[in-house]
């Protein structure tokens, strides 16, 4: 960064709080659909002014579902192996700082503010290019990681892959965790179109992993076209085992056996863990990892709201599932929990999601639906969600509430100690419920 940019950064960093910066980022949005505008031109221009260079191995994680879990496994494994790990994920639940972690801890406001100031100075030097909220945050995260001298970088794709801001950085190993229908307004209406977009993170001569055992041909064809070293779950790596332990297998006869089941619940977690272990294998020359680090990384991590069952009674399950594939996983998880007298669902969703497809996996499994309005231009109304339950004959009674917090309060009032409450549908829904629990309301 030039001295002039450093000067601007110092001035701005000293005059804006993190809350101020986030308001500033919101105001820079190009006015596309809901403030989203895909493309790499803007972020690459500012990245060049910043002079950002990749100084350590970089792992990019994309996919429809399972991105956050895969990042969490990798982050934990490499931390327990003794590396200084930078991890960038989105969205956050309660605080923006959750998106930018060093050694498993959210970074301090001061680090983020300094990074935001550097990006703002570079943005102005690049003719005031109008970065999106996510683009600005991505550039700032890389500034933080450079300042903190991390030894391995893990970046989660925000939307799609090919045109996502994270794809401005070249991955040494790129992972696609799963491919399903979501964000169809931006990525297309078919698995083929979505698979192509997600495969855009693959690089020539670099490892490309797909943890979806049935990827569309578009992903396979793109990997071949760019010359990526593609490995697919079930073909090049995989797992076998039972309810107590499992074995990972990979190329060249690799076996890692006697592994405890991942601490994150759900059938999909073995696929996500497999992707993490396959990554460890392909990067082992640059980043050696012990079996002890692998074992600890699979069972000693904290990732809220991925089929998170809170202690106590009634049972409360928090899950950010918000599309058909993810809710199907939630339904499977509920089915494996044993008997509960009554199941209450607290649901709030964004209107641009597949509402009917997302609720269908829970047909006949919910006794009471408590539908919540979500604020903002993208929020679906409780009435719209209730209409889906009625039209699809999903079963159970339905009530509509003006907010997720009020819906959750209603669920707690109605639930007995032998019942359970499942909160899902959106990060916003789960975050609102978490805040209400923290405040005691």
SS3 state at 156:
strand
The reported pLDDT for the residue numbered 6 is 53
Q: Measuring CA to CA, which residue among 219, 211, 213, 231 is closest to residue 274?
A: 211
Alpha-carbon distance of 137 to 21, in angstroms, equals 10
The reported pLDDT for the residue numbered 11 is 45
Q: Measuring CA to CA, which residue among 327, 329, 89, 67 is closest to residue 211?
A: 67
Most distant CA atoms of the chain, gap in Å: 66
The reported pLDDT for the residue numbered 68 is 95
Alpha-carbon distance of 77 to 328, in angstroms, equals 28
Handedness of CA 328, 333, 338, 340 (dihedral sign): negative
Spell out the per-residue pLDDT of the chain, length 441, in tens. 443 455 445 445 456 899 999 999 988 865 544 456 778 999 999 999 999 998 999 999 999 999 999 999 999 999 999 999 999 999 999 999 999 999 999 999 999 999 999 999 999 999 999 999 999 999 999 999 999 999 999 999 998 889 899 999 999 999 999 998 766 566 667 889 899 989 999 999 999 999 999 999 999 999 999 999 999 999 999 999 877 899 999 998 999 999 999 999 887 899 999 999 999 999 999 999 999 999 999 999 989 999 999 999 999 999 999 999 999 999 999 999 999 999 999 999 999 899 999 999 999 999 999 999 998 888 999 999 999 999 999 999 999 999 999 999 999 999 999 999 999 999 999 999 999 998 875
Domains of the chain (ranges; CATH) run 3-299 (3.40.1190.10), 308-439 (3.90.190.20)
The reported pLDDT for the residue numbered 347 is 98
The reported pLDDT for the residue numbered 185 is 67
36 DSSP assignment: B
Angle, helix 109-125 to helix 3-13, in steps of 10 degrees: 130
Angle, helix 67-80 to helix 291-299, in steps of 10 degrees: 140
108 DSSP assignment: P
The reported pLDDT for the residue numbered 183 is 63
The reported pLDDT for the residue numbered 1 is 41
The reported pLDDT for the residue numbered 275 is 97
User: CB within 8 A of 152, min separation 6: which ones?
Assistant: 56, 57, 58, 59, 78, 83, 84, 85, 86, 287
């Amino acid at each position: 960064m030039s001295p002039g940019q450093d000067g601007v950064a110092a001035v701005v960093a000293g005059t804006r709080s993190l809350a101020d910066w986030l308001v500033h980022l919101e105001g820079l949005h190009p006015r596309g659909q809901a403030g989203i505008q895909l493309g790499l031109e803007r972020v690459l221009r500012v990245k060049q002014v910043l002079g950002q260079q990749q100084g350590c191995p970089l792992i990019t994680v994309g996919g429809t579902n399972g991105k956050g879990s895969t990042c969490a496994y990798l982050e934990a494994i490499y931390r327990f192996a003794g590396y200084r790990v930078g991890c960038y994920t989105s969205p956050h639940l309660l605080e923006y700082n959750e998106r930018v972690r060093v050694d498993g801890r959210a970074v301090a406001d001061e680090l983020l503010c300094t990074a935001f100031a550097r990006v703002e100075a570079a943005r102005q030097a690049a003719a005031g290019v109008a970065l999106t909220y996510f683009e600005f945050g991505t550039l700032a995260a890389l500034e933080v990681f450079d300042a903190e001298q991390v030894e391995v970088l893990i970046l989660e794709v925000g939307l799609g892959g090919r045109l996502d801001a994270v794809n401005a950085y070249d991955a040494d190993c790129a992972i696609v965790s799963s491919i399903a229908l979501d964000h169809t307004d931006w990525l297309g209406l078919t698995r083929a179109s979505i698979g192509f977009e997600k495969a855009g993170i693959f690089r020539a001569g670099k490892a490309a992993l797909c943890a979806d055992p049935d990827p569309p041909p578009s992903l396979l064809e793109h990997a071949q076209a760019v010359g990526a070293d593609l490995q697919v779950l079930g073909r090049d790596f995989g797992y076998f085992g039972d309810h107590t332990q499992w074995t990972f297998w990979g190329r060249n006869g690799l076996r890692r056996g006697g592994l405890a089941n991942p601490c994150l619940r759900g059938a999909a977690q073995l696929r996500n863990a497999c992707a993490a272990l396959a990554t460890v294998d392909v990067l082992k020359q640059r980043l050696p990892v012990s079996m002890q680090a692998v074992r600890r990384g699979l069972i000693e991590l904290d990732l809220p709201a991925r089929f998170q069952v809170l202690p106590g009674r009634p049972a409360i399950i928090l899950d950010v599932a918000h599309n058909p594939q993810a809710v199907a996983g939630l339904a499977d998880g509920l089915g494996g929990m044993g008997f509960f007298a009554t199941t209450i669902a607290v649901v709030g969703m964004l209107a641009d999601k597949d509402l009917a497809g997302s609720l269908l996996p829970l047909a006949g499994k919910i006794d009471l639906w408590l539908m919540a309005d979500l604020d903002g231009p993208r929020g679906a109304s409780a009435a719209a969600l209730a209409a889906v339950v009625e039209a699809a004959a999903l079963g159970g009674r339905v009530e509509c509430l003006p907010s997720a917090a009020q819906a959750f309060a209603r669920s707690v009032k109605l639930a007995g100690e032998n019942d359970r409450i499942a909160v899902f549908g959106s990060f916003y829904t789960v975050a609102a419920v978490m805040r209400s629990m923290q405040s005691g309301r």
